[in-house]
């Protein structure tokens, strides 16, 4: 791959990421959510109650970030945290009825964001995008992990 193409590809990915996050923030703001909180709500909606450590792993973020998000969402009444029997350090997190309703709203916003993002692209291209983007993410992840011996 030549340098000019590599630069164009990396710039396109960077700009898409920045603009997608900014548009997501604009759509989430009227719901009182910040980027990242919607992912936590949707994860709980998909899986049901989870331990915070499981949420951290599923969301790909650090435990302190999940703790902060859960505190804010709990304060707004969208989730509740409770103890895990036999583990005083762990908390199980679940959606409240308010959180379930909010997750439904987020799903609609996510559909809007996805439709806006792929507008004008051929249907075949749109159908291939999730697989392509997942493969690209896995490529980056594989090179971001330290070698097994260093773990």
Residue 62: CATH number of its domain = 1.10.10.10
Domain count, the chain: 1
- Partnered with residue 79 across adjacent β-strands are 95
pLDDT at 72 exceeding the cut of 90: yes
Model confidence at 85: pLDDT above 90: no
Question: What is the residue range of 30's domain?
Answer: 3-137
Calculate mean pLDDT across residues 95-123.
96
Is residue 113 one of the residues assigned to a domain? yes
Asked whether residue 151 is assigned to any structural domain, the reply reads no
For 88, phi then psi, to 5°, come to -65, -20
The answer to whether position 148 is within a domain reads no
In a domain, 149, yes or no: no
Mean pLDDT of 1-25: 95
pLDDT (0 to 100) of residue 148: 58
**Proportion of the chain above pLDDT 70, given as a percent:** 95
Averaged over 54-79, what is the pLDDT?
Answer: 93
Residue 103 lies in a domain: yes
- Within a domain: 145: no
User: In terms of Cα–Cα distance, which of 101, 96, 80, 112 is closest to 31?
Assistant: 101
pTM: 0.83
Q: Which of 89, 84, 50 is nearest to 70 (CA)?
A: 50
Q: Examine residue 146 and state whether it is found in any structural domain, yes or no.
A: no
- Give a yes or no: residue 112 inside a domain: yes
The per-residue pLDDT of the chain, averaged, comes to 92
């Amino acid at each position: 791959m030549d340098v000019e193409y590599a630069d164009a590809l990396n710039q396109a990915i960077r700009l898409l990421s920045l603009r997608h996050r900014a548009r997501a923030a604009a759509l989430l703001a009227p719901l009182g959510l910040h980027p990242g909180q919607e992912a936590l709500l949707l994860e709980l909606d998909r899986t049901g109650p989870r331990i915070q450590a499981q949420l951290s792993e599923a969301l790909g973020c650090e435990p302190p970030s999940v703790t902060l998000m859960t505190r804010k969402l709990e304060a707004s009444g969208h989730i509740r945290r409770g103890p895990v029997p036999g583990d005083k350090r762990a908390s199980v997190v679940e959606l409240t009825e308010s959180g379930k309703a909010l997750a439904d709203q987020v799903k609609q916003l996510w559909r809007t964001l996805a439709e806006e993002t792929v507008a004008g692209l051929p249907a075949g291209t749109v159908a291939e995008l999730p697989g392509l983007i997942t493969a690209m993410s896995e490529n980056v992840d594989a090179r971001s992990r330290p070698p097994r011996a260093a773990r």
